[in-house]
Structure 1
Amino acid sequence: MPQFQQKASWRVDGGAQVIDLETAVKDGILGGGGDAGGAIPTGKDGILGTATEKLDLKKMIEELDSAEGEDVPSVFICPISLEPMVDPVTLCTGQTYERVHILKWFSLGHLTCPTTMQELWDDAVTPNRTLHQLIQAWFLQRYLRLKKRSEDVQGRAAELVQRLKKLKGQARVQALRDLRKIVVAHPSVKTTMSNSASIAHLSSLLGPFTSHAVGSEVITILVNLNLDSDAMVNLMQPARISLVVDMMNEGTIDTKINCTRFIEMLMGEKSFRYEVVSSLSLLVALLRLVKDWRQPSGIVAGLCLLKAICFHEQLRSLIVSVGAVPQLVEQLPNLKPECLEPALHILDNLSTTVEGRLALKDCPQTIPNAVKLLMKGSCTQCALSILWSVCKLAPDECAPLAVEAGLAAQLLLLIQSDCTPEIKQQATELLKMFCSLNCTNTLFISKCKLMRTIQ
């Protein structure tokens, strides 16, 4: 709800909140104006009447909440709830409150005015109809103005969609830019634009001969709409996905991010098939996006989509083949928390394939980087799983690297920590394996004895 500010000129003599309606209108308290958007609705008697009664005040207040930046007049605010009053009543002291809140005050045994703490000689409450009409008119004026603006932008959006059928070249790009600005700025337009006709027309603009300028604007609009199942199935056509992949390789950073959001949105559709994203060009584009440290938002977007693709077992070997494992392993120490978790999930999923385990084993930094993450909360499970996969594949080869990285000490700390039984068991088994491989190593012997003592 917009915050209110005290305006001394709106106070009534003596501090009471009973306002003369005619004076309030004349003085501009309602913010009235001569235009249609600012006119004050009146009834047959020339004062506030039937026009204000057609709309529920509470509903208007709720719909205007955060939609209007204008301060609510302080005289409309209940001193108890600090919210606009819907049913204002006045006490014998002249102070006005929302009915439900002042009655609750009385029910608690208070016989004073909450604002002045003055004792009441009469606990009767009188409906303040004048103030109620004033509040009703103030909110109605702004409600109608908001609705008019909403209808205007929705009409403008519909007009732009129709014009797109005739426009070509730069004129089409400009129309799409205007439409994109409306969709992003006005949530109400997103609902009306999500109808099948509008989506179908926007989708028709995506194809093998679509320019990247047009494609980028269309994708940006689509990711901001609520697409139904039929629309998403239609957008999964190979020619459209091919255009999106091209833009991911050659577009601006904003275009690349919107393309990743677009594909991730399609992957949420129940009829999605993994073949849609089984493209080497797509995977290469994602790894480039993830590698660009100058664009943190691009790294997050790229990793989230790559993680989603990794859930499809059929695509994991393909992801390994484009060099995802060494790149992600090298990036681990420099990734921010919001990027570290998806990166580890990707490596963990890739470690379930033979190619993934071999790639992890062949990367010199896999064990050192994973060991450093063993005690980092949500990273622990994936880091331990990666270490287990690699070390089980080639224990003799991994043993020296494990000793140097301090794996034994970290595993012991993990076993003693408040981790899950599953993690504790896997850490114990891994430590036992390295103790058996390093039976002549003094450091490992001492750690093994300590482990047995703990158990």
Structure 2
Amino acid sequence: MPMFQPPKRVGADLFKGGGDGHVLDLNTAVKDGVLGGVDGGGFGGGVGEKSDLKKMIEGLDLSEVPSVFICPISLEPMQDPVTLCTGQTYERSNILKWFSLGHCTCPTTMQELWDDSVTPNKTLHHLICTWFSQKWFQMKKRLEDVQRRVSELLNTLKKVKGQARIQALKELQQVVVAHATARKTMVNEGGVALISSLLVPLTSHAVGSEVIAILVKLTLDSESKVNLMQPTKISLIGDMLNEGSIETKINCTQLIKTLMEEKDFRSEIVSRHSLLIGLMRLVKDKRHPNGTLPGLSLLQTLSLHKPVMNLIVSIGFVPQLINLLPGLNPNCLELALFILDVLSSLPEGRLALKDCSDTIPNMAWRQSSSL
């Protein structure tokens, strides 16, 4: 292994990379057995290759990159590694910037440099390119597998019924939750329209719950939202809000909120007793407190539409919300008080507040507990 040489000349010539001092790079380390038999052959280092490496580094979401690939200055993977006479390797642009600030030392060891050159570390560059290429092609293969599986499941759904349909939907839902590529493929291949077509009056809740679980994970365009706002589909969503599992009920609230964001949304679509009753049951369900916040969040959105406001008051929401106040956490309490405030803008809402015997005690209790 070459020995360190005494400082030679360090100055403006350092930036030229043309010194005659010996440079200890990774090729030397490999030859001397430091890295134990890594092939020293490297990539050509052309412009196209550097561009590809940059694309791979930026495109891969990797949390564990080998530390030898990381520049000590930027703590990012190196694309153009160069080695100093001290044996330390850096990203070329980073070490040149270090030099341009007037430093004549190695950033890692803080030794004064006795050689003014930086040498391309071809072996390390080869290792970096190979490692990222392998990860890149593994990722591409996984994405292709996911896309193919989504296409297969969509084709299966066109052909099967009963339990086979439920199983296909369950697998599709798992894939959609796990992979952004699956969600994109669903949209691009007409999957949204296909699974939405399964929400018909005779659809079982088992099928409907899986369909809704998929829909809430997708980015729905305007056409898809309008399609889902058909009365028969809203009716089925309302039924599942009453009778589905807690997960299905929460998904129903999220889907309805998404539909209400559409500019063509009409409040009469959700002005349904069954839907609002299911929503109140969700908010009041003490066995599943995780449903309270999404339920109140949807109720807040609904309460901003006057036709729905009147219906909310008429079916007795006001006293039930008042009774819930003492047990609500701060986030839920804020929503509940907002809803009560909105409902009190109606004469019927103010009357309901007045007639509820718990209005003053519960309001006073919450006020005192917040002090």
TM interval, shorter chain, is 0.7 to 0.9
In the aligned structure 1, how far is the partner of 2:155 from the partner of 2:133?
Answer: 33
1:194 matches 2:187: yes
1:284 matches 2:291: no
DSSP 3-state at the match of 2:65:
coil
Change (3 A) 1:366 1:76: same
| Superposition pairs of residues 105-144 of structure 1, within 5 angstroms | 105-144=98-137
DSSP 3-state at the match of 2:90:
strand
The amino acid of 1:74's aligned partner reads: S
Q: Kindly state the Cα deviation for residue 21 of structure 1 after the two structures are TM-superposed.
A: 11
Partner of 2:26: 18
1:168 matches 2:161: yes
Maintained 8 Å contact 1:21/1:134 = no
In the aligned structure 1, how far is the partner of 2:182 from the partner of 2:320?
Answer: 42
Which residue of the other structure, out of 197, 205, 208, is the alignment partner of 1:212?
205
Which residue of the other structure, out of 77, 96, 110, is the alignment partner of 2:89?
96
In the aligned structure 1, how far is the partner of 2:58 from the partner of 2:75?
Answer: 15
Maintained 8 Å contact 1:173/1:217 = yes
In the aligned structure 2, how far is the partner of 1:190 from the partner of 1:80?
Answer: 38
Q: Kindly state the Cα deviation for residue 322 of structure 1 after the two structures are TM-superposed.
A: 1.7
DSSP 3-state at the match of 2:72:
coil
Change (3 A) 1:182 1:19: farther
5+ long unaligned stretches in structure 1: 1-12, 31-45, 378-409, 411-455
RMSD: 2.8
Deviations 1:313-359 (A, max 9, x none): 12111001222111111111211122111111111110011111011
The amino acid of 2:57's aligned partner reads: I
Change (3 A) 1:349 1:21: farther
Q: Kindly state the Cα deviation for residue 230 of structure 1 after the two structures are TM-superposed.
A: 0.4
In the aligned structure 1, how far is the partner of 2:287 from the partner of 2:121?
Answer: 61
Q: Identify which range, 209-218 or 189-198, moves more after superposition.
A: 189-198
1:58 matches 2:32: no
1:299 matches 2:292: yes
In the aligned structure 2, how far is the partner of 1:273 from the partner of 1:308?
Answer: 13
The amino acid of 1:77's aligned partner reads: I
Maintained 8 Å contact 1:21/1:131 = no
Maintained 8 Å contact 2:173/2:210 = yes
Name segments (4+ residues, structure 1) moved above 6 Å.
Answer: 20-24, 26-30
Q: Kindly state the Cα deviation for residue 50 of structure 1 after the two structures are TM-superposed.
A: 9.5
The amino acid of 1:177's aligned partner reads: K
The amino acid of 1:18's aligned partner reads: L
Change (3 A) 1:361 1:234: same
The two structures have a TM-score, normalised by structure 2, of 0.86
| Superposition pairs of residues 269-418 of structure 1, within 5 angstroms | 269-371=262-364
Instruction: Give me the identity figure in percent.
Output: 61
Q: Kindly state the Cα deviation for residue 104 of structure 1 after the two structures are TM-superposed.
A: 2.4
The amino acid of 1:215's aligned partner reads: G
Q: Kindly state the Cα deviation for residue 362 of structure 1 after the two structures are TM-superposed.
A: 1.2
Q: What count of residue pairs does the alignment treat as equivalent?
A: 347
Partner of 2:225: 232
DSSP 3-state at the match of 2:190:
helix
Change (3 A) 1:89 1:172: same
Partner of 1:262: 255
The two structures have a TM-score, normalised by structure 1, of 0.71
In the aligned structure 2, how far is the partner of 1:135 from the partner of 1:343?
Answer: 56
In the aligned structure 2, how far is the partner of 1:376 from the partner of 1:348?
Answer: 20
Q: Identify which range, 247-256 or 293-302, moves more after superposition.
A: 293-302
